[in-house]
Structure 1
Amino acid sequence: MDLCRGVCRIAHDGSFEAAVGSRRGRHVFGKIDRQQVVSRYNVVRTDLIDNATTPLQVGNGNFAYGVDSTGMQTFLPFNTLSSWAWHNDSLPTNGEKISDYTGVPMLTHGRNVSYDIPDSSLPQASQWLIANPNRINLGRIGLRYQGATLTASQITKPRQELDLWQGTITSTFKVDGTDVKVVTQGDFDSDSVVFNIDSKLIASGELTVELDFPYPPIHSTKYKYEVFVGVYDFPLNHTTSIVGRHEKDAAHIYHELDETNYFVNLGWPSKSPLHLSQTKNSTVEETHRYILTPVKRSSNLKFTANFSPDKQTPDSPSSISRRNSKEWGRYWSDGGFVDLTSSSNSKADELQRRIILSQYHVRVNSAAKGQSPQESGLMNNGWYGKFHMEMVVWHNAHWATWGRQKHFDDIFPQLYETLLPSSIARARSMGWDGARWPKMTETETGESSPGGINGLLLWQQPHAMYMAQLAYQASPTRKTLAKWDRVITATADYMASYAWKNESSGYYDLGPPAYGVTENTPPAETLNLAYEIAYWRYGLDVARGWKKKLGQTVPAKWTTVAQNLAPPPQVDGLYAVYEGLNSTWWDDEELNGDPRSLIMLQGILPDTPAVDPEVALKTADKVAEIWTDDKIRGWGRPILAINSARIGNPERAIYHLTAYDYWTFDDAGFAVRGGDGGTPPPFMPGNAGFLYAVAYMVAGWDGSKGGAPGFPEGGGWVVKQEGLRKAL
């Protein structure tokens, strides 16, 4: 297999290093000093952040804790979020029953099919299903000064640094002229955060730690984005209490919110004991506020806060600190790495910064076990904390191409297996076979949240085949085939059943009603979406190959549908978004404002007989004319970079990856979605999709030749990589 394009070498450890220079003549030797490259991009802040700033975080993918300038949640109530903490709002008050909701019928090829769409006759029940369950904030931990919460106005000379290699946030500042230092760390093995606070104000008793607990807001109306999750306005709706006897090195707070309950397990060194008490103030805002103070006079206060459904003894702060630093070092040392620091191109440094910081953020926000992250990760709640099934590729495929298969395998196929029973039931209730995967959901219920788009979106269905292929590429064994077989079978059964035989054309059609990738087509008229048709063919072909590798019989319906699907529609020799359009669609602002689905035909989608490469190439060039920089948002840049590399235009590929004036990553390295919607950062598909695009451009894809095929031969780029894998 040709891994090199231009000048390259295979390092002694099997890693691949490619040099991309103005004349492809620069040799690059030697192992990458990963720690030096990573540490170069430590995040440093010297101003007090405000509520429009993305907080720095510590965490492990299942759990994350976001901090303000104090290294805690002192003057800004940032969130402590987990993959397991969810809550249900009160039921509708107008007499509507959730059980009365059965979807909304739409005529589908001669029969009524009930789709997951809000029912106008059951508005409260529909909204309840959209909003529930919702992810909760487990609690706020901050500093208290002279008997009240420390305010931003009392803080001067702040400095905060995120040490990426160690996974440590160090915050220094002054309070009334006295130094305070807070070191904050997470834990890969438990949902814990460790604090080490040093100040003379601790010894004087003026500075202490406080813990407070919010209650979920009422989601009776559309509540898309919660920057600060939870409110402190309903103290009587929930209870908190110190449980168990005081231990010399631990204490426990029990929090109960309706049917949701959990513990905050606090631990500290026995030689530096702390005392936990509830505030004595009787004010409403302090109903659920607790104080942690040293028993002995000391200028240091060190403790672990472990959040868990169970009461347990947390590991000591010192053991977690050591483990956290070791595990972060291992994370950076293992898997793939890209080094651009030898490049003379003026855009290389910012590209490297984004590569490094994105890897930190996906580890903290997107490495949960058995579930995909929500679009805002574990920083805040977007869409009530639920994740989107159509985005699982953009969130998680990078784990495979960056050689971090463990994190991929922690999620798949468990995510699909968890959702399989409800997805089979969904398909059956709609009159189809197999499993119809939801759009917006969570793993607690597996329900598909009602939505005008949610109920009609198609492109999440073949994702199971795409992810299975990534798994098989990493481990081409019978064990992998068997592990995914049930999911692949149920998915293909649905896809073959959903396709409708058009007796007039002889083809199998998809839709209507349907929504495509960009969610901007008229659903009642949307027939045979180009990308969805091609993806359907790819998915069914993967499923057929899967059965053959297992030595099993391929269901005849899969082959019949795959080989007789309607072709992706064309107009004047170019692909069109869906069937029935004429050439004027290129001037339709509803459609030309985001034609990414056509770019995806020869981008993220692997080669398939459904797509003519020459037509796809000409279509990509046409899209480049009309999809201008001011219109591109979200994960548009990664898909454009991938497409450009695939069609042999690395100059365009690197342009899209480095269009910094249009594609913003903030000072902490979080991708900003941009465009409409007012989505606050982070936008995790931006960071994760960016990493996937980088891997495409550096390591290539199945069938690509040479090294760094997405980087132009000129321009001062020197690309070194270790441990990346080719994409599909």
Structure 2
Amino acid sequence: MRVNQVAAGYCLLLAPSLAVARIDSELPSDYHGVPRETYGRQVFYDALPDPNLKQATQWLIGNPNRINLGRIGLTYKGATVSSSQITQPKQVLDLWNGIITSTFRINGKDVKVITQGDFEEDAVVFRVESDLLKRGDLGVELDFPYPPIHTTAYKYEVFAGVYDFPLNHTTSIGTNSKGSSASIKHQLQETSYFANLRWPGQTALELSRNDPGGSNSTTAHRYTLKPVSRKSSSIIFTAQFSPDQRNPSPPSIIQARNKLEWNKYWQEGGFVDVTASSNPNATELQRRIVTSQYHVRVNSAAKGQSPQESGLMNNGWYGKFHMEMVIWHNAHWATWGKQKYFDNIFPELYERLLPSSLARAKAMGWQGARWPKMTDPIYGINSPGDINGVLLWQQPHALYLANLAYQASPTRKTLQRWDRVVTETADYMASYAGLNASTGKYDLGPPSYGVTENTPPNSTRNLAYEIAYWSYGLDAAREWKRKLGQRVPDKWTHVAANLALPPQVDGLYAVYDGLNSSWWNDTKLNGDPRSLIMLQGILPDTPAVNPMIALATADKVAQVWTDDKIRGWGRPVLAINSARIGNPSRAMYHLTAYDYWKFDDAGFAIRGGDGGTPPPFMPGNAGFLYAVAYVVGGWSGSKGDAPGVPKGQGWIVKHEGLLKAL
């Protein structure tokens, strides 16, 4: 379970859960994958939608899923406070101490809500101050929604819960001492948990249910927490969510350690300061640097799992995280010198997914571990989707991340800790590549999807970035074995030496094999050619990539991939590539293209594009941080201070504690 602080004293919590959705005529166990011809044989892909099992397929896409554990807000005269009742709203985030202070007026009376999260428990402390408490008019409301049925209508689930099925779940008061604690049990078929409450004994609170049990009203699972007496104009309480009923930490304990942990976070690792710059873009750049560090700490500093695309704010993409995005979510921890957050996630995430990934590869006729695309950290199911079954570029990520870990701690312990993951990853990559009898080279696909997911999967062969990444990965795995003093498997060496090269057309790299020069005029492909600039920058040096051809390709991409087309994590890619190819002015332009790359008032990156995905977009913030560290701290082989920052444009950059990127 994880806690997320949000506006005006509300608290939204999400956690992995088994499904509560039902399907009528099909069972998930009926789904066995969909066949695709691969290197001359039929392979059943476990993550392609089955048109003959639409219900079962959709169930597997949406489940298991994260659920909204509870909403905590305010009531006025017995009714939920609405936005129309609130005037003069103001909210201030104390970044240094991790405190959100919300002030507003209800019926002309001042209300202040102070919110602090906890790093040790899944808990939040709220302090509410208002004379309305003395009148008995103001109370705290706890409400427990039901997970929406995860159909395609809820792919981008901003609201994270519905109130339409009150009889499908139950809530009940577990304890209510009227002294210092209470709890609410929430039961959703197989899933149950407790909302445990605690407050100081000198300000007794009372928990009551708004509607009787068994109500079919949309308010059936609402509860009110109010002072027993009207002597005080303030209340404070802890709200903790747990699989079991327990007494959470007192508010004062959480408040104290919350500040200490936030202070410690800001003092550890790296920092970048551009406030001495005369460039007019400096102030906004500094704001984005600081707020992004706050948001990744709240939304992304997990244990054993990578964040979902929208962090803890909502359930976009059914609330599941994407394996191809783990670098964009987490590589910044390493380059910003906050390695402990990186190590809290890796390699445990891969170790959790290893049994299911080994089984997946074996069932498909390959060796090693075939990592999923869109999944959950508990069961490792590869959720079906048109792209999910044949996406390639998540496979070498483990090798890239292992090298980041080794760069931060170049010890035998690091080598041994990652060795199983490295080995199984490379075993799969060498096994998956298919020998082309005509060329004598090893191909990747078809079927295959690449970074930009915009090519015909059943005929796409040898995507440029994926081929180069495969080459880098196999080389990295072989070097890993050498450092351990272990034998390098012959298969790895043979495939690496005979892997097809990234395709070229007229002296430039092409997205995949078989294209001619006209592809540069194909709007479907030139609308997002980021994979070609990833060959130099995101991808460390590899013999598979000719740096001069990559440079010429990057310049061509700069001509066709115009500002109006760039979205998501495209800007960090462009900034990193521009720095790498020796164009710092272009690198800084992409980091400060504020007219196109929007961050909202809270500092959340906005994905842009089709507008179908819910904000925020955490790879935007995390990718931005990775790009800033790359531009300022440099990369393997870079020379001088801040090699990606242009000289003579009013930039004065001070930094400390950054590590070079790969």
**1:529-678 matched pairs, under 5 angstroms:** 529-678=463-612
CA–CA separation in structure 2 for the residues paired with 1:703 and 1:359: 26
Q: Which residue of 2 aligns with 1:65?
A: 4
- Matched AA of 1:182: V
CA deviation after TM superposition for structure 1 residue 245, in Å: 5.7
Partner of 2:150: 219
**What is the aligned partner in structure 1 of residue 343 from structure 2?**
409
Matched residue, 1:36: none
How many residue pairs get aligned? The number is 658
The 8 Å contact of residues 63 and 364 in structure 1, kept in 2 or not, is answered as no
Q: How does 1:323-472 map to 2 (within 5 A)?
A: 323-472=257-406
Name the residue aligned to 1:208. 139
- Which digits, 9 at most, give the CA deviation of each residue in 1:563-607, with x for residues without a partner? 110011111111011111111111111111100000000010000
Tell me whether 1:86 sits opposite 2:24 in the alignment: no
Query: Which residue of 2 is the match for residue 246 of structure 1?
Result: 177
- Per the TM alignment, residue 476 of structure 1 is displaced from its structure 2 partner at its CA by 0.5
| Superposed counterparts of 1:243-282, under 5 Å | 243-244=174-175, 246=177, 248-280=179-211
Aligned match of 1:185 in 104, 113, 116?
116
Q: What is the alpha-carbon distance in structure 2 between the residues aligned to residue 609 and residue 478 of structure 1?
A: 26
Aligned to 2:224: 291
Within 2, Cα distance between the matches of 1:102 and 1:290? 44
- SS at 1:264 equivalent: strand
| 1:89/1:219 contact within 8 Å kept | no
CA contact (8 A) 1:89 1:128 kept: no
Partner of 2:389, secondary structure, is helix
Question: Residue in 2 aligned with 1:101?
Answer: 31
> AA paired with 2:89?
P
Give the one of 448, 451, 469 matched to 1:517: 451
What is the TM-score with the length of structure 2 in the denominator?
0.98
1:148 corresponds to 2:79: yes
Equivalence for 1:48 = none
1:288-327 equivalent positions in 2, closer than 5 A: 288-297=221-230, 298-327=232-261
Q: Which AA in structure 2 matches 1:670?
A: F
**Alignment match, 1:169:** 100
User: C-alpha distance in 2, partners of 1:677/1:495?
Assistant: 35
Q: Measure, in 1, the Cα distance between the counterparts of 2:373 and 2:470.
A: 17
Q: Name the structure 1 match of 2:41.
A: 111
- How much does 1:506 deviate? 1.2
Calculate the aligned-residue CA RMSD, in Å.
1.2
Q: Report Cα offsets for 1:279-327 as digits up to 9, x if no partner.
A: 2576712211111111232211100000111211111111111111111
Counterpart for residue 10 of structure 1: none
- Cα drift, residue 238 of structure 1: 0.4
Question: What is the aligned-residue identity percentage?
Answer: 71
Partner residue in 2 for 1:17: none
The residue that corresponds to 1:699 in the other structure is 633
Return the alpha-carbon distance in structure 1 between the equivalents of residues 380 and 153 of structure 2. 20
Q: Distance in 1 between matches of 2:5 and 2:532?
A: 38
CA offsets 1:166-218 (integer angstroms, 9 cap, x no match): 11011111111111111011011111110011111101111011111000111
The structural deviation recorded for 1:67 is 2.9
Separation in structure 2 between the aligned mates of residue 219 and residue 158 of structure 1, nearest angstrom: 34
Superposed displacement of residue 677, structure 1: 4.7
Q: Structure 2: how far apart are the matches of 1:479 and 1:716?
A: 44
Per-residue Cα deviation, 1:331-351 (whole angstroms, up to 9, x for no partner): 011111000000000001111
Letter in 2 for 1:286: T
Task: Name the SS for the 1:211 alignment partner.
Answer: strand
AA paired with 2:9? G
**1:473-518: CA deviation from partner (whole Å, max 9, x where unpaired):** 0101111001001001100000000011112211111101100100
Q: Displacement of 1:80 after TM fit? A: 2.1
**Offset of 1:381 from its aligned partner?**
0.7
CA distance in 2, matches of 1:555, 1:145: 69
SS in 1 for 2:68: coil
1:519-578 per-residue CA deviation (whole Å, 9 max, x = no partner) reads 001111111111001000100111101111111111000000011100111111110111
Deviates more, 1:323-332 or 1:149-158: 149-158
1:668 shift after superposition? 0.5
Deviations 1:121-174 (A, max 9, x none): 101001110011111001111111111111222211111101111110111111
Q: Any stretches of 5+ residues in structure 2 without a counterpart? A: none
TM-score relative to the length of structure 1: 0.89
Structure 1 runs not aligned, ≥5 long: 1-61, 74-78
Q: In 2, are the aligned partners of 1:243 and 1:253 still within 8 Å (CA)? A: yes
Q: Which amino acid aligns with 1:475?
A: S
Secondary structure class of the residue paired with 1:454? coil
SS of residue in 1 equivalent to 2:534: helix
The aligned residue for residue 716 of structure 1 is 650
Mean Cα deviation higher: 681-690 or 287-296: 287-296
Residue identity matched to 2:30: D
Amino acid at match of 1:652: R
Q: 1:716 to 1:220 in 2, by over 3 A?
A: closer
Q: Which has the higher contact order (CA 8 A, sep 6+)?
A: 1
Q: Determine if contact 2:332/2:625 at 8 Å carries over to the other structure.
A: yes
Contact 1:267 1:316 (8 Å CA) reproduced: yes
**Helix, strand or coil at the partner of 2:424:** helix
Q: Does 1:236 align with 2:167?
A: yes
C-alpha contact 1:342 1:718 (8 A) present in aligned 2: yes
Q: What does residue 498 of structure 1 align with?
A: 432
Amino acid at match of 1:323: R
Q: Do structure 1's residue 160 and structure 2's residue 99 form an aligned pair?
A: no
One-letter amino acid matched to 1:449: S
| CA distance in 2: counterparts of 1:677 and 1:520, whole angstroms | 18
User: Structure 2: how far apart are the matches of 1:552 and 1:656?
Assistant: 43
Name the stretch that deviates more: 283-292 or 156-165.
283-292
What is the distance in 2 between the residues matched to 1:494 and 1:222?
36
Letter in 2 for 1:299: S
Letter in 2 for 1:422: S
The AA in structure 2 aligned to 1:72 is: Y
- Distance in 1 separating the partners of 2:428 and 2:153: 31
Note closer, same or farther for the CA distance 1:220–1:158 as it changes in structure 2 (3 Å cut).
closer
Q: Is the 8 A contact 2:166 2:216 kept in 1?
A: no
Q: Determine the C-alpha separation between the residues in 2 that align with 1:442 and 1:524.
A: 27
What CA distance in whole angstroms lies between the structure 2 residues aligned with 1:622 and 1:119? 40
Instruction: Choose which of 475, 478, 481 in structure 1 pairs with 2:409.
Output: 475
Tell me if the contact between 2:114 and 2:127 (Cα under 8 Å) persists in the aligned partners. yes
Inter-partner Cα distance in structure 1 for 2:359 and 2:596: 43
Q: Provide the rounded CA distance (Å) in 2 between the counterparts of 1:690 and 1:492.
A: 29
Shift of 1:222: 4.4
2:227 maps to amino acid: P
Relative to structure 1, the CA distance from residue 280 to residue 613 in structure 2 (aligned partners, 3 Å threshold; closer, same or farther) is closer
